Amino acid sequence: MTKIVNHWIGGKTVEGASGTFGPVTDPATGAVTTKVAFATVDEVDAAVRTAKEAFATWGQSSLAKRTEILFRFRALLDANRDAIAELITAEHGKVHSDALGEVARGLEIVDLACGINVQLKGELSTQVASRVDVASIRQPLGVVAGITPFNFPAMVPMWMFPMAIATGNTFILKPSEKDPSASLKIAELLSEAGLPDGVFNVVHGDKVAVDRLLDHPDVKAVSFVGSTPIARYIHTTASAKGKRVQALGGAKNHMLVLPDADLDAAADAAVSAAYGSAGERCMAISAVVAVGAIGDQLVDKIRERAEKIKIGPGNDPTSEMGPLITAVHRDKVASYVTGAAAEGAEVVLDGTGYTVDGFEDGHWIGISLLDKVPTSAKAYQDEIFGPVLCVLRVDTYEEGMTLINASPFGNGTAIFTRDGGAARRFQLEVEAGMVGVNVPIPVPVGYHSFGGWKDSLFGDHHIYGNDGTHFYTRGKVVTTRWPDPADAPTGVDLGFPRNH
Ligand code: NAD
């Protein structure tokens, strides 16, 4: 029987009224297992109305109450790691251990939100002028929305809503229609933790739902994570409507390997970061830039490791890499490999046409490794978002840096070297938001912020960390004078006030 995933509005599931549903597929079998309701404009409006009503009380609630609920939610999330990971694997396809990893990284942001009282501490300057004090405080915005991608159906929503609700906002999540179940489980856990109805809502759907959120006058801010073209669209559209926007986009993350690097460590890192989650990570390494004469040796080491990766269903504990999200996406990924030789690349490993016995209808693709890829090749220029690693060869550090900085993307990057001076230079010169030194996927911990540069992020704020607190609050500065009854009246003074 096909499962139905409905909206979550006002603390309960709400059946989709439009009768329009999207199919959710198990990527390992290719079978449609679930139907997800697609929200109409009226349904989005109902969610916003509910969230606005809830904001009237939640925005005024004490920090003690908010954090008490968040601590309870943290405990429930911890106890339900496996259940959430199973939902992720069933709809996304990633292996269970990887799904558990994303829950763990999402939980880090809940940890951060549990300590929101420290981050929301204001500033007070006393006696800035005679008997005058100045306080800076931050207040919530109101109803805020989050629009999230398929590749982290639990973690990316958790980059957003814990900070949003901890700071006193109410939240509407529009998760990816490809793997919607994890968000509903999270909604249930929040409710079980005692979150008042209407503070966290989920509307499922496609462009209709997104566009209404971008247009709705009562939605004060939009957080988006997804592909670059949609991130750009979200930023332009929501900004034009006067909303605060952070829109994180796609990536092409480079790993620069200097000749003095530990090549075994570099090859381990490249393989883990390129093929983990079948390359469907915005922080995946998709381009290795080999400097100097080490290229052949490095490619051999990467190939030896990559060939051993066990591909299979995500719920099989022996699988290291699962299928891709859809058959259409699998075919698109394959087209980059098929076209690579004609574009001048050497195809070292060709993963196209791969299948898994007993799961022939799954969205499988094997491991692909392309060497000596020219920068003109589509396989280099586009974000492939699959298990395809491009190796590019350069002669010098400078040439590598020029190549990396010429990329329109600037999400994450890494350098592998034993030379501290070169690593320091790289940190300062590279145009990317997140840098790893001998670390291939430098996803910042929760108490730092996550975000890219250039076409990988539109807006001023990175996500979570201090930037998250700032994004979901607005500043207010209060200047106070309490005159002493013994003071003489100041009298009328039309001059511009000066402090003395
Ligand atoms: P996507 O852009 O297709 O979809 C993201 C969200 O936008 C979904 O909720 C989807 O329903 C909605 N959407 C899609 N098309 C739309 C349209 N025309 N109008 C309005 N809304 C629309 O992205 P995806 O395929 O789900 O996710 C993969 C992409 O996300 C990759 O490019 C990846 O790099 C990126 N990503 C980036 C980060 C980051 O932190 N920078 C993190 C994760 C994923």
Q: Which of 202, 210, 228 to mutate to test the pocket of ligand 1 (most atoms within 8 A of CB)?
A: 210
Q: Which tokens go with 47?
A: 């969610």
At 109-138, the pLDDT tens digits run: 999 999 999 999 999 999 999 999 999 999
pLDDT tens digits, 98-115: 999 999 999 999 999 999
The Cα–Cα gap between 383 and 253 comes to: 9
Digit-coded pLDDT (tens) for 227-236: 999 999 999 9
CA contacts within 13 A on the Cβ side of 500 = 3
Q: For the chain, what is the largest distance between any 2 Cα atoms, rounded to a whole number of angstroms?
A: 91
Considering 219, 234, 282, 404, which one is annotated as catalytic? Answer: 282
Residue 334: what pLDDT? Answer: 98
- The tokens 């920090």 sit on which residue? 63
- For residue 390, indicate whether it is catalytic: no
Confidence (pLDDT) at 173: 99
The architecture in CATH of the region 253-437 reads: 3-Layer(aba) Sandwich (3.40)
> What does CATH list as the number for 3-249+456-478?
3.40.605.10
> What is the model's pLDDT at position 198?
98
DSSP lists the bridge partners of residue 290 as 257, 393
Residue appearing with tokens 């709400």: 14
Average pLDDT of the chain, as a whole number: 97
CA-to-CA distance for 324 and 93, rounded, in angstroms? 7
Q: How far apart are the first and last CA of the chain?
A: 76
**Which tokens in the block code for residue 499?**
């402090």
Q: Is the CB–ligand 1 distance for residue 157 below 6 Å?
A: no
Structure tokens at 127: 């006696």
Classify the C-alpha dihedral 150-230-190-111 as positive or negative.
positive
Buried b / exposed e over 303-318, threshold 16 CB at 10 Å, is bebbeebebbbbbbee
Residues 338 and 352: beta-carbon distance below 8 Å: yes
Task: Provide the pLDDT for residue 299.
Answer: 98
Asked whether residue 188 carries a pLDDT value surpassing 80, the answer given is yes
Atom 32 of ligand 1, nearest CA residue: 227
Q: Where are the domains of the chain?
A: 3-249+456-478, 253-437
Q: Is the CB of 25 under 6 A from ligand 1?
A: no
Burial class for 439, CB neighbours closer than 10 Å (0-12, 13-18, 19+): middle
Distance CA 379, CA 374 (A): 9
The two beta strands, 21-26 and 31-37, are antiparallel
Cα(107)–Cα(89) distance, integer angstroms: 18
65-72 mean pLDDT:
98
